[in-house]
Amino acid sequence: MVSCFRVSAKTLSNEEPERASFPPRGWNSYDSFSWIVSEKKFLQNAQIISERLHAYGYEYVVVDFLWYRRKVKGAYTDSQGFDVIDKWGRMVPDPDRWPSFAGGKGFTEVANKVHGMGLKYGIHVMRGISTQAVNANTPILDTTTGDIGVKERACAWMSQGFMSVDTKLGAGRAFLRSLYEQYAEWGVDFVKHDSVFGADLDINEISVVSEVLKQLDRPILYSLSPGTSVTPAMAKDVSGLANMYRITADDWDSWGDVASHFDVTRDFSTANMIGAKGLLGNSFECQTGPCTQMCITSMFTNKELAIPSPWSSNDGPHRTSNLNADEQRTQWSMAKSPLMFGGDLRKLDETTYNLLTNPILLEINSFSSNNMEFPYITSANGFKSKNDVLDSQSGRYLTDVSTSDTHVLSLTSCTNSKAIGWSHKHVYCCFTNMCSRFEFVVSHKQQSQGKLQLFATDRMDFCLWGSPNQKLTSKELKSGAFAPCRWHTNRMWELSVNGTLANNYSGLCATVNSIKAEVRPGGTRSWIATGRKGEIYVAFFNLNPERTVISAKISDMAKVLPGKNFNRNSCQCKEVWSGNDIKVRKQTISRGVNAHGCALFVLKCKLAGLI
């Protein structure tokens, strides 16, 4: 039995600070550099974080994926055979991009430099084990035998690169333990674990890693990714195992990606998942790739050069954001999401800097409570007025515009009662007798050993999938759960006797949601929160393509804030982005908000019965 650089286990002392007491903040390399960031450029960005943003709570600097892949001809995101691994099958940095790795030091020297700047160092890792290590049949540290790779569970969007390990085997658990002990030896403070959550859920690997992290002498913040098809029920299963987890797919700089966040953020807030109990501390849901506010106005790479393709140069940064200033403010702070900036800090402009360091946004992000969507707003634009009130059953805004029933296929935990209802009738798989009217009726195309491949009746070449085979954006996920048919495990389904339709790859089940779809896109939204000094924060969001006046009554705020009963004419109000004091007229705050823009108010109110 061989051992090297062992990290001793310990019992957590009562004096050790809890992890993720507040939503973490920092910088991630992905949006600016895709996978090809070098040690020099990474440390240049880290230095700017230290000098300009650390005082505002930005402390994590994270190198994103494929830091172990050689940047040579033929290497790209889903290529095979270009990774640098040690004799135990573990990934180590590409020495050409990370020259401090020389002598087998791993990321030790980089982490030491980051720590010397007063910051914390993070890395991105993939699920399981690399295909290259499996093909090379490398031994496993501290284990004499065991084939641990599960080839049927290859990473859906990097199928040539990684696969799950069999955590039921002692050898599988030993391999995962050796990975995270090595990260601790390097001085890593943050791990973003990809391809284990959402549609790629691997609760067994998450559980094993979480347990390993509890036993390490070094505290490591644990983040889960990706966030495709995540539900509050799924998140509750992992919340106590991690400190951060994604709840949406990747975002790029398109308004559609941003607008898609409002519904999912509302749902997680309603489920009381903001700041819930996490791994040796708290856990927070993140809302883009990776986490929040990644695409602002600094330079970053083109989306087309970041996705898997043998023709992608992956060199960057390339351009500024397509989002304007109005489209980038307020939402994630009100939802208390971790703030991970992704722009190239060497090109940091004053507009972006002022947004990242806005003291009121950061106060809300760290210290506010009772964060939720505020349903009682009215709005008017140049065409007509409407009264928006949230329906507690559907979670949709009830408006005077016409609506229609729409059925949407989605994924959920197989333990969720909503997964039950599938049956097999003739050549169809139907959900709760929807065969005659459900627009996405699926039919089995092939069958092998009891496994079904399912396709939409209107597109016989498109099959229902259980997880994406590439990273989709939040907007792209709205297009549905179908992809070109291939005989692949993420398109294999099994109809159980209990009425669930389970995907063999992800372990998730299909369900059908009935929603009220508005004919007119857009709309208005509002969020509310309370401050630690008694302030009330209210944000208006205009999703419409035209300027809209949004209003809210002070008395309605008491309906959602516990213990609040406001005196009449007792509130002072200031709008943050304009800096203007706002007069409260007839117990109402009102503001014209630009298309895709927002307004943020700080209210200081006297409560009834208090002088």
The mean per-residue pLDDT over the stretch 230-256 comes to 85
**Percent of the chain topping pLDDT 90:** 43
Question: What pLDDT is recorded for position 402?
Answer: 39
Question: What pLDDT is recorded for position 226?
Answer: 85
| Higher per-residue confidence, 309 vs 451 | 451
Reduce the DSSP state of residue 374 to 3 states and report it.
coil
Question: What pLDDT is recorded for position 11?
Answer: 36
Residue with tokens 């929040």: 292
Q: What does the domain layout of the chain look like in residue ranges? A: 25-367, 373-392+520-607, 403-518
Question: What pLDDT is recorded for position 95?
Answer: 95
Question: What pLDDT is recorded for position 311?
Answer: 39
Backbone angles phi, psi at 525, to 5 degrees: -135, 160
Q: What is the DSSP letter of 473?
A: B
Helices (H), ranges, 10-106: 30-33, 39-48
Question: What pLDDT is recorded for position 386?
Answer: 43
Q: Which CATH architecture group holds 403-518?
A: Trefoil (2.80)
- 481 forms beta bridges with none
Q: Which CATH superfamily is domain 373-392+520-607 in?
A: Golgi alpha-mannosidase II (2.60.40.1180)
Q: What is the DSSP letter of 532?
A: T
Backbone angles phi, psi at 461, to 5 degrees: -100, 5
What's the CA dihedral at 67, 68, 73, 76 to 10 degrees? -60
The mean per-residue pLDDT over the stretch 423-443 comes to 52
Question: What pLDDT is recorded for position 144?
Answer: 53
Residues 579-605: pLDDT tens digits?
A: 999 988 888 999 999 999 999 999 998
The mean per-residue pLDDT over the stretch 91-115 comes to 94
- 463 forms beta bridges with 455, 483
Say which CATH class 25-367 falls into: alpha beta
* CA angle, residues 38, 40, 42, in degrees to nearest 5: 65
Whether the predicted model's global pTM rises above the 0.85 cut: no
Exposure class string for 504-534: b at 16+ Cβ within 10 A, else e: bbbbbbbbbeeeeebeeeebbbbbbbbbeee
- CA dist., res. 409 & res. 475, Å (int): 16
164 — pLDDT class (breaks 50, 70, 90)? very high
Residues 6+ away with beta carbon under 8 Å from 610:
567
Q: Residue 163 pLDDT more than 80?
A: yes
Q: What is the DSSP letter of 296?
A: S
The mean per-residue pLDDT over the stretch 466-490 comes to 52
Q: Residue 189 pLDDT more than 80?
A: yes
| Higher per-residue confidence, 477 vs 174 | 174
